[in-house]
Amino acid sequence: MTYKKIERTPSAHYFPLLIKNILESSQVLAPNQEIVYRDTLRYTYKILADRIARLANALTTLGVKPGDTVAVMDWDTNRYFECFFAIPMMGAVLHTINIRLSPEQILYTINHAKDDVILINAEFFPLLEPVKDQIKTVKKFILLKDDDNMPETGLVMDGEYEELLSQGGSDYDFPEFDEDTMATTFYTTGTTGLPKGVYFSHRQIVLHTLGAAAGFSGIKSQAHLTSEDVYMPITPMFHVHAWGFPYFFTMIGAKQIYIGRYEPELILKLIKKENVTFSHCVPTILHMMLNSPDIKDVDLSNWQVIIGGAALPKALCKQALDLGVNIYAGYGMSETCPMLTGPKLKPETLALEPEKQVEARCRTGLPAPLVNLRIIDSKGNPLPHDGNATGEVVVRSPWLTQGYTDDPERSEELWDGGWLHTGDIGYVDYEGCLQITDRMKDVIKTGGEWISSLELEDIISQHEAVSEAVAIGVPDDKWGERPMCIIVLKDNYKGKVDTDELKQFVMKYVEDGTIPKYGVPDKIVFTDTIPKTSVGKMDKKVLREQYN
Ligand code: AMP
């Protein structure tokens, strides 16, 4: 079949989708809108554009060229936000280094990404100090600092950020280039093996931004964002570009607040002071905030929050709803830029009492515009969307990483059969709504049956004494694996609740048919803290090693 392609007159301009267009939009729509850093700095989008041009001039003077890789190690600062634009807009690649990894893992990612320049916050000198002699490709370091307190370092700095900006001119002609040019790269915090590099082009980031605009601003639901919102990310900027929202809010010209190092008291203070209306985070961070003594002084009834990176536990959802928070789940992953799905509550659901909305708000949700989703069996065959057939979730969309950096084998595994394999298990119902039931690696396999670790955690977290809960499979001679739960009790329940009481609580869910009898954990243990991954998720790998 021959398709009729459009004709282009020789003078027609082919408009590549570039990150610079996102910034330009803010300059037209909201030049005087504010960007705020902690309680120390605020400036307008007009000044933002000026600073981005100065940064590009400074990097050019230091020798950065298109195609180079420029890495950042910083808290969530206005500087990081400026790097989100200046570095890719020059045609260089922004590498967002995960500062929660070990020095050896960070070294691996720096060498693997072939970083040319690193912008580093003085607080992270101790991370590079032990490995500095093994850094291979980095030619220049730029110092980032908030004050003059600096740890000793053997690293040689080639300039300080603010000084470099004051020297750089404010005119920079950001070039036009192919939209498939790489804009960003970072490494997944995989639970096994070495970190894997993912990468995204300008086109992908622009389409992700437009997809978010259609999903959040076009479709009427509880997930609704406009230029009147005040945005404060509480997901680190190194974790999938803070889920892409800094680009989205810049395109629509909304006020943005960056909080530096995470401190629950400062987060709450800024939510109040700046009238923050939207944030996103992993469940652990929200749990920490809601349990801060300062929570009682903050009105959260204008706050919308997406919980992603892990399932939203019903108990946490209920706790937040009771405070008036418009809370709901979002699903995505590093490989997917990350937006894939989110719940869209219908008016009839929103009219219900808050506790009757919990179920709907915790669902994994409907695919975002331009996301295609399938459930497949172990042979790769698509399964029906009947709310029952459970298998691996595979996806297609314009913004998925097209492979892992320099790793053809794992890239092909990721894209086996032309669909990106998420490694998550779930089902889709008749309305097209996805429910993730587990990660393939975390599902508990007992006597040939599967138990969802997420469902078990969700059930046990609903006991009034439970603060945090994790379910894992532990080896068992007879059944292969048996479920076990590791629990942190709320302070006022410590010593007052025993494991039998919690088992009895889970039994109620067996009686009403929610889970089968073999889903009741054989063993429940109490602990003071649960180990977390580099992005704040419960670390089941460490727990499995600990309890196996
Ligand atoms: P990461 O690449 O670190 O962002 O982790 C992505 C993984 O987090 C996904 O593959 C899921 O296993 C998990 N995840 C993210 N969002 C959700 C969600 N809403 N419900 C359940 N699991 C989630």
Q: What is the pLDDT of residues 125-179, one digit of tens each?
A: 999 999 999 999 999 999 999 998 888 889 999 999 999 999 989 999 999 999 9
Identify whether 270 is part of a domain. Answer: no
- Quickly count helices (H) and strands (E) in the chain: 18, 25
Q: How far does the centroid of ligand 1 lie from the alpha carbon of residue 439, in Å? A: 8
Cβ distance 69 to 112 under 8 Å? no
Is pLDDT above 90 for 383? yes
Identify whether 359 is part of a domain. Answer: no
Instruction: State the CATH number of the domain containing residue 68.
Output: 3.40.50.12780
Q: Please report the pLDDT score of residue 115 as a whole number.
A: 98
Of the candidates 162, 179, 201, which is a domain's last residue? 201
Read off the pLDDT of each residue in 234-254 and give the average, rounded to a whole number. 97
Is pLDDT above 90 for 535? no
Token pair of 462 as six digits:
């609903």
Start-to-end CA span in the chain (Å): 58
Q: Provide the domain limits for residue 51.
A: 19-201
| Strand 93-96 versus strand 69-73 pairing type | parallel
Q: Please report the pLDDT score of residue 407 as a whole number.
A: 96
Q: Please report the pLDDT score of residue 410 as a whole number.
A: 95
Read off the pLDDT of each residue in 10-29 and give the average, rounded to a whole number. 98
pLDDT in tens, 284-300: 999 999 999 999 999 99
Q: Please report the pLDDT score of residue 548 as a whole number.
A: 81
Higher-pLDDT residue of 264, 7: 7
Q: How far does the centroid of ligand 1 lie from the alpha carbon of residue 332, in Å? A: 6
Per the listing, tokens 């991954």 go with 533
Cβ distance 137 to 115 under 8 Å? yes
pTM > 0.75: yes or no: yes
Read off the pLDDT of each residue in 218-238 and give the average, rounded to a whole number. 95
Q: How many residues does the chain have?
A: 548
Q: Please report the pLDDT score of residue 220 as a whole number.
A: 87
Angstrom distance (rounded) from CA 348 to CA 411: 43
Instruction: State the CATH number of the domain containing residue 490.
Output: 3.30.300.30
Is pLDDT above 90 for 456? yes
Cβ distance 454 to 436 under 8 Å? yes
Cβ distance 67 to 90 under 8 Å? no
Cβ distance 315 to 454 under 8 Å? no
Q: How far does the centroid of ligand 1 lie from the alpha carbon of residue 73, in Å? A: 24
309 lines ligand 1 (CB under 6 A): yes
Which residue, by CA, sits nearest to atom 23 of ligand 1? 310
Nearest alpha carbon to residue 456 among 481, 419, 490: 481
Q: Please report the pLDDT score of residue 526 as a whole number.
A: 95
Read off the pLDDT of each residue in 396-403 and give the average, rounded to a whole number. 98
Cβ distance 371 to 419 under 8 Å? no
Say which range, 190-194, 202-206, 251-255, 507-511, has the weakest mean pLDDT.
Answer: 190-194
Cα R_g (the chain), whole angstroms: 24
Task: Specify the ligand 1 atom closest to the Cα of 364.
Answer: 19
DSSP 7: P
Identify whether 183 is part of a domain. Answer: yes
Is pLDDT above 70 for 452? yes
Nearest alpha carbon to residue 282 among 242, 248, 245: 242
Of the candidates 170, 201, 232, which is a domain's last residue? 201
Identify whether 146 is part of a domain. Answer: yes
Using a pLDDT cut of 70, give the percent of the chain over it. Answer: 99
- How does residue 27 score in pLDDT terms, banded at 50, 70 and 90? very high
Read off the pLDDT of each residue in 24-36 and give the average, rounded to a whole number. 98
- Average pLDDT of the residues of the chain: 95
Identify whether 533 is part of a domain. Answer: yes
Catalytic (active-site) positions: 188, 335, 445, 450
Exposed, middle or buried, 42 (CB in 10 Å: 0-12/13-18/19+)?
middle
Read off the pLDDT of each residue in 506-522 and give the average, rounded to a whole number. 92
- Pocket probe mutation, ligand 1, options 100, 312, 331, max atoms within 8 Å of Cβ: 331
Is pLDDT above 70 for 190? no
Angstrom distance (rounded) from CA 334 to CA 260: 22
Angstrom distance (rounded) from CA 98 to CA 137: 18
Which residue, by CA, sits nearest to atom 1 of ligand 1? 333
Q: Which amino acid is at 208?
A: H
Task: Specify the ligand 1 atom closest to the Cα of 341.
Answer: 19
Specify which residues 382 forms β-bridges with. 376
Q: Please report the pLDDT score of residue 382 as a whole number.
A: 97
Identify whether 502 is part of a domain. Answer: yes
537 sits in the region (left: phi over 0; alpha: psi -120 to 50; else beta) called: beta
CA distances, 71 to each of 119, 403, 527 (Å)? 6, 20, 38
439 lines ligand 1 (CB under 6 A): yes
Of the candidates 152, 185, 201, which is a domain's last residue? 201
Task: Specify the ligand 1 atom closest to the Cα of 338.
Answer: 4
Angstrom distance (rounded) from CA 358 to CA 191: 30
Is pLDDT above 90 for 508? yes
Angstrom distance (rounded) from CA 507 to CA 520: 7
Identify whether 485 is part of a domain. Answer: yes
Q: Please report the pLDDT score of residue 19 as a whole number.
A: 98
pLDDT in tens, 82-106: 999 999 999 999 999 999 999 999 9
Is pLDDT above 80 for 193? no
Identify whether 206 is part of a domain. Answer: no
393 lines ligand 1 (CB under 6 A): no
Per-state percent for the chain, helix, strand, coil, to nearest 5: 35, 25, 40
Backbone dihedral angles phi then psi of residue 161, each to the nearest 5 degrees:
-50, -55
Cβ distance 285 to 312 under 8 Å? no
Read off the pLDDT of each residue in 499-510 and give the average, rounded to a whole number. 94
Q: How far does the centroid of ligand 1 lie from the alpha carbon of residue 176, in Å? A: 35
Q: Domain count for the chain, please give it.
A: 2
327 lines ligand 1 (CB under 6 A): no
Q: Please report the pLDDT score of residue 349 as a whole number.
A: 92
Read off the pLDDT of each residue in 106-123 and give the average, rounded to a whole number. 98
- Pocket probe mutation, ligand 1, options 439, 443, 453, 538, max atoms within 8 Å of Cβ: 439
